[in-house]
């Protein structure tokens, strides 16, 4: 039988291995190293490289591959996405890449399910050094072979190579199948060394900044006590088996790394602390439990979620997973049938109901429309905004700005003739009163039923805008005492999200640096103010930082000094 003797050669990129794993391989002194050598090359792959989800490469074209929505039970909703994590363990420099594989290695040669040879040695920055006392060659007959290479994080017992979850991070195995040794000239066997385990990290996002120094903390554990705790590869049969058990808890501590800042951004708290798992680990058996921290003023300790996205997350060898948990405030919505509920009851959260507004006050039964009226175009308060004192329009007109900002009679101003000075005009039905008419004829985009039948949208009074400020900004209702008063809220991004997540449009404007479509959003109120010279409509400037309370309008989409947007309210 023709045989080939395999030798070792030391170099920065080649690993040449030698020794015998059985006593059957007698050395042939007639074979010389020059024409009887095989080189072994080890190529190390990082986590996430050549990764497959659900057994298909096609899904790699998608960044976010799995989603789920979880009610945490504390007024917070978690939108969970699982995607491939492209973060590298090392930089791309060749020396650093080779360093990833430093350690002690064993190479086995198999033919027909039988081990024909074994070599052990130390790898350091790509250089292989045989163990002291070993020989520099072993002899293999010509034929088809499978070569198996593994490091010392893998435990061998005969043909069984076992990896525990404790060693899942650094255990590496490379398998080269169907290698044909059919010549006495130098040959090269290459291994693609892969991590046996998979890794996962969890990133938090929110529409408000994460509090410091009280950092958010969480632990990840098995939800059912039934996850892989050891994996065994049978080199003779080329197959894996797994043993399930209880997983040791791993913890995360989050630090704010990116604030909300300005227009429609989320804050994020990240960690590079990975948890390591064995292949076939089912995300539905893993639980992320918060142990400390607050968000949106809600205590996160005790809140938890099981990683059960659809489709299911089943971890693969060398896979790298980034779990993004976007923490969302549980706003209350008004549905087209007159009922109220959370986003999870809506068609946008997996439910069946169609949202038409965001509830601002349950006691007052007030909701704000999801979109601007008038086809999202701005308009005048009425056709003669700069009217004289003799042209007072509202019975409730006042020259006291603090009193103006306490008015909550928007419905009456829009729909009751008695609220008009002439006692006849119903502004909601009069096109000359553009802002009122636009609000009164707002179309939510879907037919209404139930208790909403017969209910009318209206232009809110200045005092009613306080409910929007408090509810959408997660702050208390403000006290307004002077014109052009600024009141700050938690986050305009949070307020905009309340509308966006159910198909609505932004309420707050942004900043030039954010490329916001509208930098200043001025909204009309139904309230009329007299400054001693002119009667003017009360108006609110809503931006990411909060509200500015004023009268008339000095900015608009068309650059007019007398125009503003209309966001209708409804009393449901």
Per-residue confidence of the chain (572 residues) as pLDDT tens digits? 444 444 444 332 333 343 445 433 333 333 222 324 566 788 888 898 755 444 333 333 345 567 788 999 999 999 999 888 887 765 444 454 556 678 899 999 999 999 998 888 888 776 667 788 776 566 778 899 999 999 999 999 999 999 999 999 999 999 999 999 887 777 788 899 999 999 998 888 888 888 776 688 899 888 888 899 999 999 999 999 999 999 877 888 887 666 555 445 677 777 778 899 999 999 889 999 999 999 998 999 999 999 888 778 899 999 999 989 999 999 999 999 999 999 999 999 889 999 999 999 999 999 999 999 999 998 888 875 444 444 678 899 999 999 999 999 999 999 999 999 999 999 999 998 999 999 999 999 999 999 999 999 999 999 999 999 999 999 999 999 999 999 999 888 899 999 999 999 999 986 444 455 556 789 999 999 987 777 788 999 998 889 999 987 443 333 445 789 999 999 99
Q: Sort strands 304-306 and 286-292 into parallel, antiparallel or unpaired.
A: antiparallel
pLDDT of residue 12: 29
At a CB cut-off of 8 Å and minimum separation 6, what does 48 contact?
A: 84, 85, 86, 87, 318, 319, 320
Measure the CA–CA gap between 222 and 39, rounded to whole angstroms. Answer: 44
- Peptide linkage before 52 cis (omega within 30 of 0): no
Global pTM value: 0.78
DSSP at 565: B
Measure the CA–CA gap between 497 and 370, rounded to whole angstroms. Answer: 11
pLDDT of residue 559: 41
Measure the CA–CA gap between 59 and 55, rounded to whole angstroms. Answer: 9
pLDDT of residue 553: 46
**Residue 216 structure tokens:** 């958010």
Measure the CA–CA gap between 310 and 287, rounded to whole angstroms. Answer: 16
- Peptide linkage before 213 cis (omega within 30 of 0): yes
* Pair 300, 76: CB distance under 8 Å: yes
202 backbone dihedrals φ, ψ, rounded to 5°:
-120, 125
At a CB cut-off of 8 Å and minimum separation 6, what does 331 contact?
A: 342, 343, 358, 359, 471, 472, 498
Measure the CA–CA gap between 304 and 144, rounded to whole angstroms. Answer: 52
Length of the chain: 572
Token pair 């000359």: residue: 432
Measure the CA–CA gap between 237 and 240, rounded to whole angstroms. Answer: 9
At a CB cut-off of 8 Å and minimum separation 6, what does 507 contact?
A: 368, 468, 472, 492, 495, 496, 499, 521, 542, 567
Measure the CA–CA gap between 168 and 267, rounded to whole angstroms. Answer: 32
Measure the CA–CA gap between 560 and 483, rounded to whole angstroms. Answer: 20
Measure the CA–CA gap between 19 and 137, rounded to whole angstroms. Answer: 6
pLDDT of residue 183: 79
Sign of CA dihedral 309, 311, 316, 320: negative
Q: In what order do the strands lie in the sheet with 227-234?
A: 155-157, 160-164, 227-234, 239-245
Token pair 């990116």: residue: 258
* H or E element at residue 466: helix 462-473
The CA-CA-CA angle for residues 24, 29, 35, to 5°, reads: 105
DSSP at 374: G
Closest CA to 104 of 162, 40, 151: 151
**Residue 185 structure tokens:** 């000239």
Measure the CA–CA gap between 97 and 92, rounded to whole angstroms. Answer: 6
Measure the CA–CA gap between 331 and 504, rounded to whole angstroms. Answer: 13
pLDDT of residue 37: 58
Q: Across the chain, how many H-helices and E-strands are there?
A: 6, 36
pLDDT of residue 257: 65
First to last CA, the chain: 92
pLDDT of residue 253: 83
């Amino acid at each position: 039988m023709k045989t080939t003797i395999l030798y070792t050669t030391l170099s920065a990129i080649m690993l040449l291995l030698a020794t015998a794993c059985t006593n059957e391989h007698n050395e042939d002194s007639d074979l010389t190293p020059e024409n009887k050598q095989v080189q072994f090359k080890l190529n190390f792959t990082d986590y996430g490289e050549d990764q497959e989800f659900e057994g298909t490469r096609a899904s790699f074209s998608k960044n976010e591959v799995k989603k789920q929505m979880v009610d945490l039970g504390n007024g917070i909703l978690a939108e969970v996405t699982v995607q491939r994590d492209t973060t590298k363990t090392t930089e791309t420099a060749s020396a650093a890449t080779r360093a990833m594989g430093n350690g002690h290695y064993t190479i086995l040669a198999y033919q027909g399910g039988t081990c024909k040879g074994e070599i052990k040695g130390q790898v350091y920055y790509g250089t292989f050094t045989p163990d002291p006392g070993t020989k520099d060659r072993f002899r293999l007959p010509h034929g088809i072979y499978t070569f198996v290479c593994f490091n010392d994080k893998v435990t061998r017992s005969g043909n069984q190579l076992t990896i525990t979850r404790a060693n899942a991070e650094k255990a590496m195995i490379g398998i080269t199948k169907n290698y044909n040794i059919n010549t006495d000239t130098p040959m090269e066997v290459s291994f693609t060394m892969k991590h046996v385990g998979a890794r996962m990290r969890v990133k938090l996002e929110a529409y408000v900044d994460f509090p410091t120094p009280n950092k958010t903390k969480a632990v990840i554990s098995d939800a059912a006590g039934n996850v892989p705790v050891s994996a065994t590869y049978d080199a003779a049969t080329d197959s894996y088996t797994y043993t399930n058990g209880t997983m040791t808890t791993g913890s995360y501590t989050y630090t704010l790394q990116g604030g909300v800042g300005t227009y429609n951004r989320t804050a994020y708290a990240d960690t590079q602390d990975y948890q390591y798992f064995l292949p076939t680990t089912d995300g539905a058996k893993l639980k992320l439990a918060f142990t400390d921290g607050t968000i949106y003023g809600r205590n996160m300790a005790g809140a938890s979620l099981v990683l059960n996205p659809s489709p299911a997350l089943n971890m693969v060898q060398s896979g790298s997973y980034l779990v993004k948990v976007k923490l969302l405030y549980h706003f209350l919505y008004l549905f087209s049938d007159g009922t109220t509920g959370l986003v999870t009851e809506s068609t946008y959260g997996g439910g069946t109901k169609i949202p038409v507004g965001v509830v601002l006050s349950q006691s007052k039964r007030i909701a704000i429309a999801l979109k601007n009226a008038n086809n999202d175009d701005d308009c005048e308060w009425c056709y003669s905004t700069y009217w004289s004192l003799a042209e007072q329009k509202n019975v409730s007109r006042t020259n006291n700005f603090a009193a103006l900002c306490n008015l909550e009679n928007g419905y009456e101003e829009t729909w009751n003739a008695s609220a008009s000075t002439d006692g006849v005009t119903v502004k909601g039905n009069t096109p000359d009163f553009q802002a009122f008419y636009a609000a009164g004829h707002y179309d939510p985009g879907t037919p209404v039923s139930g208790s909403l039948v017969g209910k009318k949208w209206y232009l809110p009074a200045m005092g009613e805008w306080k409910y929007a400020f408090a509810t959408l900004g997660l702050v208390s209702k403000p006290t307004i005492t002077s014109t052009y008063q600024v009141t700050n809220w938690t986050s305009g991004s949070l307020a905009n999200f309340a509308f966006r997540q159910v198909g609505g449009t932004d309420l707050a404007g942004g900043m030039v640096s954010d490329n916001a479509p509208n930098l200043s959003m001025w909204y009309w109120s139904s309230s009329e103010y007299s400054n001693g010279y002119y009667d003017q409509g009360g108006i609110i400037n809503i931006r990411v930082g909060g509200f500015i309370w004023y009268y008339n309008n000095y900015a608009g989409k068309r650059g007019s000094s007398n125009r503003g947007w209309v966001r209708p309210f409804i009393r449901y």
